[in-house]
Amino acid sequence: MSAAPAVTFWFEFASTYSYPAAHRVGALAAAAGVPVVWRPFLLGPVFAAQGMTDSPFNIYPVKGAYMWRDLERICDAQGLPLTRPGAFPRNGLRAARIATAALAAGAAWAPDFVRAVYHANFAEDREIADPAVLARLLTGLGADAADWQARAETPETKAALRAATDEAQALGLFGAPSFTIAGADGGVELFWGNDRLEQALAWAR
């Protein structure tokens, strides 16, 4: 039996449905025997390319109202706490740069950091754009906050996050979370949404 190809998990810290996805992708992928590649990217440029300068959940408030209720049901079923954030969407740029640096360095706590940022935003209603909030999350994971916040702001890290966002657009991503699987034929299969995680894993297998 050949090893299953990896599923790339594309996430953005402002994305509501990425919150439950980040909390279940690791366990479900492990159970399926599928490796996961965690890839932060930025939705802002992706939405801007579609002519949107805000979250579609704010542009289309009827859809937004549904999303919050739907997310509540999903979090309830998953046993995840949810507090509707006082600000939405929050700017996840700094957090995405930290995650980019940590994942590039192979830091074992990187997925925990990702989940911690989502928890801060969507369970505790904290301002994830605030460096002090991010520093506390890093410290809580035993990471050197000052060191990682400096690494996050290097030209290399900034370029890597821009490249991830460019790659996401080239792959046809238009929202988060998304999952991609590279095929043997050179093509890439795209799945969009927390509710497509199971299908993406089945595709990889």
- Binding to its own copies by residue 73, rule CB under 8 A? yes
Choose, by CB under 8 A, the member of 63, 78, 140, 146 that binds its own copies. 63
DSSP 144: -
Q: 178: part of which helix (H) or strand (E)? A: strand 178-182
Q: If DSSP states are collapsed to H, E and C, what string results for 4-50?
A: CCCEEEEECCCCCCHHHHHHHHHHHHHHHCCCEEEEECCHHHHHHHC
Applying CB under 8 A, among 5, 26, 28, 70 the residue interacting with its own copies is 70
Which residue, 72 or 153, is less far from its own copies as judged by CB?
72
Tokens linked to 170 = 């080239």
- Asked if 31 interacts with its own copies (CB under 8 A), we say no
Q: Report if residue 10 touches its own copies, rule: CB under 8 A.
A: no
Alpha carbon distance 138, 140 (integer Å): 5
Site for its own copies in 144-183 (CB under 8 A): 172, 174-175
Query: Residues binding its own copies: what is the number (CB under 8 A)?
Result: 19
If you search the block for the tokens 């801060």, which residue do you land on? 120
Does 17 bind its own copies (CB under 8 A)? Our answer is no
The binding site for its own copies (CB under 8 A) comprises 49-50, 60, 62-63, 65-66, 69-70, 73, 172, 174-175, 190-192, 195-196, 199
